[in-house]
Amino acid sequence: MKRIADLCLERGNQRRFAGLVLAARTSLPLALLCVVTTIASAATFKNLVFFNGSDGANPTEMTLVQGIDGELYGTATNGGAYGYGTVFKISPSGTLTTVWNFCKELNCPDGAYPQAGLTLVIGGDLYGTTYRGGAHGYGEVFKITPAGALSVVYSFCSLSGCADGYYPTEGVSMIQGTDGNLYGSVSGGVFKLTLAGKETVLWLYPTFTVYGPNGLMQASDGNFYLTDSGRDGYSDGNIWKITPAGKGTKLYGFCQLTSCADGTFPGGPLVQGANGSLYGTTIGGGKYNDGILFALTLAGKLTTVHSFDYFTAGNLGSYIDSGVTLGADGNFYGIAAFGGMGCVSGCGTVFKITPTGALTTLHEFGDATDGSGPWGLMQDTSGAFFGATPVGCSPFVSGCKNYGTIYTAGDGLAPFVELVTNYGPVGKSIDILGQGFTGATGVTFDGVKATFDNVSDTYMTVTVPNGALTGTVTVSTFTGTYKSNKIFLVRPQFKGFSPATATVGGVVTITGVSLKQTSAVSIGGKPATFTVVSDTSVKATVPAAAKTGQMILVTTAGGSASKGPLAIAPKITSFTPTSGAVGTEVKISGTTLTGTSKVTFGGVDATSFEVVNDSQVDAIVPNGAKTGAIAVTTPGGTGTSASDFTVN
């Protein structure tokens, strides 16, 4: 039985950090006292760490990340040696180590108050942000090695008027894009940052449109997707699509349906499911006004997968403000900040939802000795899930300070291997996390063998092999076989094409690497019929209406690649009449005739002609014309008739 506690987090009413109390994005009425109840868990649950202040305090809006050493890394907003937060690591068994104490010097040039999780990049370093500190006091991006060496990569507000942004957004962990750069959110917009520290603003938030950005991800189409939680009286939240070139458009605005059945105030980053759709959560709306899990196609069509209702047994939970994670079993896992039977308003839950919307409550948080108000959930390669609560304290220590917890919740899932990056071309070296790698006997990409290097028992590097196919990466050891939690996308490489000039209906041979899984070819945006010859060759037929100077685009299961421009030469298919005297008007039919700059009869230039459309040119037989072929010249080349025009 849980004791009555006066330490429950009033998370819906306030957010605490840096000695300040800030208004939360959306308020919910909460009761002030916890109630006596027995917590029945559907899965194994264990508190691993109770923060004591000196080792950190209040891990706020932070999701843990697994490092190359098998440890889990995170940030605490407060506490530590100087009171300005920490970077910590924790072993899966629960041993906590402080990796860095922020604000070691006056004015905190190394940063202060981290309010988001860390990002693991290729090679094993971790990157994060602090809300304050840095060279100008407006926050920073830092790099820290697993050994604990920290360096400031970029300090915000380095430009006049803070044109480069300021105050990194709480709860928004940076992501490493497919181009290798870091992307994140600050007041005012989304930024791009090279690992060497060159920052540019990718997209500025439209004025009075984006409220509370709280999640950023990059989907398989290469575009970035930003979630904003909205603001009462102004917006119910939105999903934005941002191209790598920085063009942003609103993909979906919430509360479009009656009674906001499509949800209100989305929270946390989206995650891409196996079907290509983006999945996310809201803190309100839905059938019971306690939030939903939704699926959103890349075209912007939203479907409600599940409506939360913490009053209903088996469907406990509300205020789902940190999104979900895609488990290695294909189900979605997440936390509800409220709900469950532990408190009057619920101290939160851990849940599982199938892609069809069936929910299982895995754990109900009880009170301060169990933690409450959880945010973020991750799965490490053992199969277990880990998360943090911003408050909570050990029942075995007197004088509870309520500084937060780290917990593990298992659902009996099998171990797997994690791809630090799940995309790349043949020849690229990628990082894989797992366990038992000292006994590794082989690695395959959808069955194609690869060379690998066991750096440690929990970390290996692998080279994408020739002939690799988009699919599951499998690591075999003496004791078992482990599959990747994500599909690896083998990026196609477009080497060249021939001929350089072709006509509509002509065949172009495309050469490259990883072309075996080609699913589409387009020329100038027009779909082309094609035949896959081998992994290095595809033949495509130039489609009607293809224009000169346009690109050839090849799409495979692993992505797209383009090359060009392809010159489309004009083609004469017929002409009428087939004979005539000087001065006769001749109708020339064919393809790609737009842009005609020259017409000849037997090599003699016509002084009068008119381009009617892309398939017709009318010309007058010129003085001096000779019996012979008709030729038409465009920017794409010259097309010659197969038969002669007879000059009478």
What tokens does 320 get? 């789902």
Predicted pLDDT of residue 255: 96
Shared domain check, 576 and 540: no
Residue 240 counted as domain residue: no
390 is a domain residue: no
518 and 542 in one domain? yes
* Token pair in block for residue 348: 């939160």
Report if residue 331 sits inside a domain. no
pLDDT, the chain, mean: 89
Kindly state whether residue 637 falls inside one of the protein's structural domains: yes
Alpha carbons 607 and 622: distance in angstroms, whole number: 6
Q: Are 26 and 229 in contact (CB under 8 A)?
A: yes
Q: Tell me which of 489, 504, 537 is where a domain ends.
A: 489
Asked if 579 and 642 sit in the same domain, the reply is: yes
The rounded average pLDDT for each run of 10 residues, N- to C-terminus, in the chain (648 residues) is: 27 30 29 30 80 94 96 97 98 94 96 97 96 97 96 97 94 94 95 97 91 93 94 89 96 96 95 94 93 96 92 72 94 90 74 93 82 92 95 75 92 93 94 94 95 95 96 94 94 96 95 97 95 98 91 94 94 96 96 95 96 96 96 95 96
Last residue of a domain, one of 526, 542, 568: 568
Residue 558 lies in a domain: yes
Task: Identify residue 627 by its one-letter amino acid code.
Answer: T
Looking at the structure, do residues 562 and 577 belong to the same domain, yes or no?
no
> For residue 531, what is the domain's CATH number?
2.60.40.10
Maximum separation of any 2 CA atoms in the chain, in Å: 113
What is the separation of C-alpha 339 from the centre of its chain, rounded to a whole number of angstroms? 29
**258 three-state secondary structure:** helix
The answer to whether position 86 is within a domain reads no
Question: Is there a contact between 86 and 98 (Cβ–Cβ < 8 Å)?
Answer: yes
CA gap 128, 173 in Å, rounded: 7
Instruction: Work out whether the CA dihedral 72, 73, 77, 80 comes out positive or negative.
Output: positive
DSSP 3-state assignment of 208?
coil
Instruction: Decide: 335 and 320 in contact? Cβ < 8 Å.
Output: yes
Residue 532 belongs to domain spanning: 493-568
Whether residue 586 is found in the same domain as residue 631: yes
Tens-digit pLDDT profile for residues 267-321: 999 999 989 999 999 999 999 999 999 999 999 999 999 999 877 655 677 889 9
- In this predicted structure, what is the pLDDT of residue 588? 98
Round to whole Å and give the CA distance between 15 and 23: 6
Domain count of the fold of the chain: 3
- In contact, 617 and 598? CB cutoff 8 Å: no
Q: Evaluate whether residue 521 is within a structural domain.
A: yes
What is the pLDDT at residue 118?
98
Tens-place pLDDT, residues 166-181: 999 999 999 999 999 9
Give the end-to-end CA distance of the chain in Å, rounded to a whole number: 109
The pLDDT of residue 28 is: 29
Same domain, 594 and 527: no
Q: How many CA atoms lie within 13 A of 615 on its CB side?
A: 6
Same domain, 517 and 534: yes
472 within domain boundaries: yes
User: Can you tell me the distance from the alpha carbon of 609 to that of 167, in angstroms, rounded to the nearest whole number?
Assistant: 65
Tell me the C-alpha distance between 217 and 486, whole Å: 15
Q: Are residues 451 and 483 in the same domain?
A: yes
Give the position of tokens 């016509």: 606
**Can you give the pTM of this predicted structure?**
0.85
Mode of pairing for the β-strands spanning 501-502 and 559-568: parallel
